[in-house]
Each structure stands twice: as C-alpha cells, then as structure tokens.
Amino acid sequence: MSLTAIARILLAAVSIAVLAWLGTMERNERLIARGVVATGKLDVPGTVAQADVDLRSARFLNPDTTPDLARALIFGVVRQPARAVAILERVLRDEPDNVGAWAQLLAVTARRDPVTARRARAELRRLDPVDARRR
C-alpha cells in the first residue's frame, strides 16, 4: 500500500470520528434544550421524569455540566431538595470553582440547611467577591 493510500485511509477515519463526535454533541444539545423547555411545564404529569431522562442522556460524552445544573434546578423547583443537593455536590466535587453551581446550592439550601448554605455563601464570596455582597 502506498503512503498516499494510507494517508487517505487515516484522513477518512479521522473524519468519521469527528462527524460521530459532532453528531453526539448535536444530540446532547437537543436533549438539553428539550430538558430546559420542560422546566416551564413541570406541572404536566410525566414532565419531570422525561426531563430527567433527557438531561441524563445529554451527559453522554459531554464534559459540560449544564445538564446536571438543569436537573438540579428541576428538582429544586419540584421540592425535591435532597436530589438537587446531591447533583450539585457531584458537580462541585468535579468543578469546585463553578459559581453557578454554588449559587444554585445556596438557593436550594438557604431555608433548609444553614450549614450548607453558609458553605455555599462563603465559596461564592471567594469566587466572586463583588457579586457576593448582594447575597
């Protein structure tokens, strides 16, 4: 086999891998969008469960934590704070400087768990001292 043929085969393989990756990312973005839209319809039966499935599925090969933050938001809204906190704690274990996750954790725990709320508030002060004065 010639060097040109090998180069073409490698280029084709890389192209297929890139297209598969892009397809996966597009699928994930659509699932995230569908899950986020569901947050406006949480009173419809089955919506929470479907949004949870969509947002979990959107994590496939996806380093972005947006699906997890959306799941936590949904569980906070439907008054399942333990589930929301568990999701946010996992996000924060991987991304301790995630301001959005700390803010969401503060919102979920402000009235239920003063210890966790104080920790979240302290982390927000550390990460964003200017905005933290408003919290």
Sign of CA dihedral 68, 104, 99, 119: negative
∠ CA 45-50-55, rounded to 5°: 145
Q: What is the separation of C-alpha 53 from the centre of its chain, rounded to a whole number of angstroms?
A: 13
Residues in the chain: 135
In the chain, where are the structural domains located? 3-132
Overall fold of domain 3-132 = 1.25.40
Digits of tens for pLDDT over the chain (135 positions)? 888 989 899 999 999 999 998 998 898 889 888 888 887 777 778 888 888 989 999 988 888 898 999 999 999 988 899 999 999 999 999 999 999 999 999 999 999 999 999 999 999 999 988 876 665
Quote the pLDDT of residue 132: 61
pLDDT at position 133: 62
